Structures are given as structure tokens and as C-alpha cells.
Chain A
Amino acid sequence: MHSGTRRGGGAGVPRRDLLRVTAAVVALAGAGSAAGCDLFGGARSTTSEVTPELTDLLAATVALGAAYDAAIARVPSLADRLTGLRDAHRAHAVALAQALSVAVPVSSGSSLEGGSDAPSTLAALAGLETTGRDAARTACLNASPRLASLVGDIAAARACHLEVLQ
């Protein structure tokens, strides 16, 4: 039997597993990225990959996390809603820094706009996320093949954050 298929009930029809289809997709695409790995399997960055656009994206990612810290400090009642999003930005910064073979920049603080109430704080964050999503989208289109998936995932995460902030 073909790997990834199994027989369906009475009809005897081969039924490809929905999740196995996507797993096969990942395996197929992953094979193409192996050339970018070093002897021990770690991905290395090349000088040409570390563009100003990506280092700017990394700095802006750190700043986004700091903006959420400022928002939570300003409106503590939003902590449950915002902490996961803040942590996602921190995870993005770590992953991006690792991919670029650089250290995570130290945050220089946040200049979160908006008033002291929840609606204006959420609106200010939504504005930052929109800008951040667009920047990550552009960076993904310009990125090397090795970095495109990570940067694209960051753009997608920011689009999802906007759903939570609305």
C-alpha cells in the first residue's frame, strides 16, 4: 500500500490522510533546504542574507514586544489578552536572531501611543501590528530561500494578532 494512504470503509476507496498530505508537503520542501545546513545540521547565515531590511525587522520585532510590555503596564486588565501576543514577538526575535546568526538586540524601550484606556491601547497596538505585518511581508518577498519561511510565518502571526486586537 502506498505510504500515507489507507483503505476507507465499505467502499474500499483509498483515503489519503488529511494530515499526512501536509506532512508530506513539509518533508518535500524540507529536503530543498538541507543544502543551507552545516555539518551538524544547524542553519548558517551568509553575509548576503543578513540585509538591512532583516536587521531592521529584528529590531522592530524586539520593539513590538516592548510595546506589549508597555500596554500591559498601562492597562493591566489586558494582560490575559496580550501576554501571549507579547511572547510570540519575543519568540520571533529569538528565531530571527538565530537565523541571522546575531544576538537579539536589547530593547530601547517603547513609545506606545494612545491614551490610558483599553480601547486606545488596543488601537495603538493594532497600528503597530499592521505596520509590522506589512514590513514582514515585504521582507519575506525579498528574503533568501532559507529565511523566507520564517519571515513569512512572522508576517502571518502578526496578521493573526490583528484578529485578537479587534
Chain B
Amino acid sequence: MTRNGIPREIEEQLDKTNVTPSRREFLRNAGMFAATFSAAGAAGSFVPEAKAQTAAVVSSDGAGPYPDPDFRQVDSWIVIHQDDTATFYVGKTDCGQGTGTAFRQIMSDELDFPYDRTTCIMGSTDITVDQGGSGGSTAMERDSWPMRRVAAEARRVLLEMAATRLDVPVDRLTVKEGVITETADPSKHVTYGQLVGGKRFNVAVKGNNINVITGVAAVKPVQALRNVGQSPQRYDIPAKVDGSLKWAVDVKLPGMVHARNVKPPFAGAKLISIDESSVRNMTGFVKVVSKGNYVAVVCEREEQAINASRRLKVRWEKPATAPFPSSEDLFQYMRSATPTAVLKPVVVGNPDAAFAAAATVIEADYDIPYQGHTAFSPAHALADPSNGLMTIYTNDMKSYGMRAGVATFLGMPRDKVRVIWMEGPQGFGRTAADDAGFEAAYLAKEIGRPVRIQWMRDEETAWDTKAPAFTVKVRGGLDASGNLVAYEYHGRAADHNHVGYNEPDTVLIAQLMGSRRAKPASGSSEIPAEMYAIPNRRMSRDVVSLPLVWETPVRTGNLRDPNGPQSTFAAESFIDELAAAAKTDPVEFRMKLLTASTTDDASFRRARSIAVVKAAAEAYGWDSRPQPRPVASGDVLTGRGFAYAFRGQTIAAEIAEVEVNRRTGHVWVKRLVCAHDCGLVINPEALRHTVECAMLHSLSRALYEEVQFDTEKVTSVDWVSHPSLRHADAPARIDVVLLNGDPNPNRSDLPPYGGGETACKPLLAAVANAIFDATGVRLRRVPFRDARVLAALKATRV
């Protein structure tokens, strides 16, 4: 263990730069921690006296407390070392999309420092500022801005230091790659390391919240960025392929024990009794911990805890009424349920009159089941209760939120809890509603030893947070010329009591213990973004609830692009249905509805949409014709489908080419194309990879994924009962085209928009549209497993 109270190998990995003194000492001695206990500090104003007070109450290393690093100090973000290397500390986490690499690129650009001499540290609440961790594709769009502005300010300050050192005015200095030179006399130069290496900047920036902080310096025009737009390899990958990376699952502490949960076997079950004698004599047994309906077994070794959790005899009482309909009956139930929340509709023009006057009216219902996160590794965390503090090692993508949530949950002061973020599987929203960290902390406090907990596969697949099921009704009216003149969309989501981020009163252990909030969250549903200029339209949405609201495995939370794949599946499938009704090529049909107007919104989404739709069609080699194609002979039918969407300011158009086996119903997506515009691209290669994987994640949702349940429990609990995309499903070819469709492509302030999630959105519809093109059969219920496709083909005699 280090003086910082964590294993040395973990500290070296967290802070590879060997800052002397330690990172926390570095911040503390300069009074760089924010005054979290001061009302003035909490309100956001800068109070030097309070800072000094904070510094005074900080005790020795390892013992805490752990106040927040002050985001208004340059030193909280950037440290320059004597050997002319730099460490960037950011309040983010990286779920595998390479955002850490991108932060290094953009910060080294603003700092004018060599990229390959930088390191990025993220997500540990005691040594990095709180940017909330990751989520919502905000890494570049929102969170790179304070990083850029602080780095620009650091550069400005370094130039001033150099001017003093070299006795030359700033305007006669040139800075390149961390070396400042007198322009007229290159023999006079000084490096960043010589100026501030190992020392503090002691420079404050201003701003009431972390997202708006700024110094005096302006950020560079995008044309001056050198690392941005390049594709350095992701720095995290080598340790992931040679086995040397220490993940959150890998942390070992002296004296640690292992825990496993014992979940109720039926949703809504009530604990009657526990027979501890069933496990008391097992080797390594430590304790059974239970409160309310929460039960866990703790043992010395991991396999002992697994065995004991299986052997522990617990009596449960089933609830008097069924917690939910079976997944077979889900959509019938949802359609007839009374909404728990009705959201304000969007109405433009006069849809009723337009429908009455339309030459052709069609309508369709689309059903998307609950789909789980089913992270590759089940939830896990290790909590250390030493010294009356709580340190949690976790892959929680919002580690800062976990810190606040656990402090409230345990009734501990916030600055006595620290959360150390380490790498883990995926993210995608599941680890922002992270149950295991709360459980580990609770058990550690109960046992008084470090506790590592991990869920089992069946537990994770059954009880993780789910994307809500949707049932969507869409209606459209065409005039005699095939123009879309009336449109109606109603999206209904089973999303009542949607679980938020690391909330101490909605996290599963709190629900099971009975310490939950009084009022469930109302949840949300979704209407499609206003992509098309349809003159008369009504778009409405509401939310329904399953009978059981609390302590249920069928609980909803955010899953990558929350609600986007569901609503876009319906909306973009239906646009194709309308195109088919109008006997028009579906890309042409969309282009007619895409009226470019720079007044639509500030980021020119329609103008950029036109560019993206065209780029996708061109990259694919799209030939214009109405769909479906005449059904071919032979066992394998081929077709192609198009769909497009935007999420926030980012636009993606996707084309799927499919082979449908007429005998088996099996669908293989042979080729995928995505044209993608997210403004300024930081690392094209990492973005392409992210887009590829986002499309394939949605492909897995399109073809395979569904949470299944009977009327008392989830029955899809492993990789057989809950299938996922596999190697055999991988397309033979994927093309990702990154473009900048801004009406002024050379603007110097081109911002980066979100890159992580938009590509998830259109893919389900693109696949359904391709299956329609190949077979003439319209699939309106996800997923398109072989049996469902085959039944649909047979029903229409294809």
C-alpha cells in the first residue's frame, strides 16, 4: 500500500507520472481543493479564506478526507514536469471509445505541447475535477471546452513566464512543442519544463460552473489545431492486449473478502427467513448480511462466496398479484394501459384536416421489447472502509455521482468518500446506475473489512437496468402526387420509475432495503427529432407502468442513446412505408422532405442532413428505384435499406445490405455504410471504430436482443436465453464516411458534436427497410430472430 492508501500498482497506473510530492499533496499544499463545506464555495464563488481552511483540515496522506480539486485552478487540470512531460487531469471516464486519447490531442494542441509527451488521468474523485464522468456523448461536445480553455490559459501564462525569463516581450516569442523561443534569436529559448516543471502555476480561471470556466486566453481557431484531426493510436489499447492493465475487477487489498448477492427468486418477493446454518460451516464463511429484502453472503474467497450464495436457504413469499404480464403479452398490456405520464405533444399545421384531404392514408404499429445492457462483465466493485473513510474502486462511468450517492446512502460526509474509477466493461449507462458500488460500500461498512462484490451472469442479465419497451403508432397521408402532407406519431414507453444516475434512493440495494424514495420518476418516451419538413404533423408520447414498480428486475434506465433506437425504428421504418406507398425511391422520398434552411437551427441540421444523406447514398452506390425489388428466386434474397437520424447536433445516415434466407429466416447484414457528421472530428480513426461498433450494437438489438419474462421473473438470463450478436454476424464490409456538411465548412469555430451514440439510432430501421426491400415483408416487431422472420415470410408466402 502507498501512503495514499491504495495498492502501489494501482497508484502507478492511476498516476503514472510519479508526481513528487503525491498528486493530492500537490493540490493540497497549494490550497487547490475547493471549499466543499463552505456555503460560499458551494454557491460557486471563489473564497480564498475558505480554501485555506480546507487545506488546514486536511490530514496526512491516505487518511483523507478527500475534498474536491478546485476546477478554477489551472493546477487541477495540468501539471508540467521537469522532464518536459505533462499530465492532464480531467473529470471524465472512458468507456472504450478513446476519449482519453482525444482529450490529450485537444489539450496538447491548445497548450502547444507534444502529444506523445502527455498523459491523461481521469475519473478519480480525489485527484481530478468533477466533470460528471461520461454519458450522453458529451465528452467532446461539452467537456472538452473547459479543458481547451484551461490549456490555452496555461500556454498564455507560460509565455509570460518566458518573457520574464528571457527578458523579451511576449509578442517577440514563438512557441512550438513546449519550447518558447525568441523569434529573432532562436538561440534564446526555454522549455515549459524549465519554466514550471514540478511547480505550480498558481493561476485561477473564472466561471460559475466547470463548463464555462475561462482564463484570459482564447482557444485556437480549428485551422491552427495540429493534433486534432490526426489519429494517434489509443493509449489504452496496449495494456488491454498484453494483459497488464489493472481493471476495477482486478484490485486486491490486504484483508479483503468476497461477497455475492442472493436475489429474490420472484419479482416483488418478500423475505420471510434466512437459515444461516445452511452455510455457517462452509470453509471461509464470514457472514450473511441482510436488511429488508436485501441478502448477501460474505466469504474469504471468491468461489466460496459463490458457493455459499447458492447454498444459502432463504424463504421468500411471492407477491399476491403478478408483478408484470409475460413478455409475450407485453404489447397488448401496454396498448391498453392507462398512461402514468402524458408529455406535451408537438403539433404543426392542421393534421386532422390534412388527413381528411389526403389521397392515401396508411398507418402502422411498431413494437420494441425491453432490451438490457447485459454488460459483458456483471456489476462489480471493491470498497475499503479503512480509517473511517470509504474508498470505492469501480468502473462507474459517473464516479463523481457514485461518490455523492454512496455518501448519502451511508450517511457519511461527502469528503470522507472517494471513488477511484478504473476500466471496466462497456458503460452505456448501466454503470451510471451502478448497484455494485453501493453494495460493496454498505457491506464494507457492515463487515469492517474491504469487500469485493460481483454479480453473477444470471443476476446481471435478469436484474440490470433495461431500455424501456416501446409501442409506437404512426399514420401518414399522401396527396395524389405522393407528397407527404399529414403525419401523426404516438410513442408509448413502459418507462415509469426510470432509474436515475447513482441515486441513493433508487439504486437496487436501497429499493430492496426499503429505503427508497416516495415518488417514482415519471420516466420518458420519445418522439422523433424534427427531421423532415412535413407541413401538418402531430407527435405525441406517453408513459405506462408495469404493475410492480419497485424491487423489480424489469426496471428501466438509460441505455446508449436512450429511446433513440426505439423511436427511430418506428419513424424511419414508416418513412419507408410511405415511400413504398408513393412508389418512390426511399432516399428520394426523404430528400423531398429535407428542406435546407439556415434558420432551422443554429447548427444547420437540415443542411447538414442533406449532405450526410447524399454521402451515404454515394458511398454505397445507391441506385434509385422504388422498394421492394421484385422477389428473386433462390433461397437467399438480397435487399438494401436506408435510414437516417440526428441526435443533438450529430447526424448519421446508414445503409444496410441484407441477405435473407428464405428457408431459415436468417438475416445476415452483409454490408453497412454510415455517413456521419459530428462537426469537428478529434480522432477520425477512433471515431470510425466507435461508429462501427455503435452500428453493430444496434444490429444486435435489431436481430437478437429481447428481455423475456413470465409473470413472476425474467427468463432471459444468460447468453443462450439472451442471445447477442456474434462473429458469424459481422458484416463482410463496413464503410464509415466522416464528413463536415456545415454550410461554411471552413469556419474557424467549428465545434465538436457528440460522437458516441448517434450511429445507434437509425440502424434498426435500416435493417427492417432492407428486409422489406429483399422480401416485400415489413417487420414491425423487434428483434428479427430467425423464427419471427420465417413466420412473417410464410405468412405472406414469400
Q: Do A and B come from one complex?
A: no
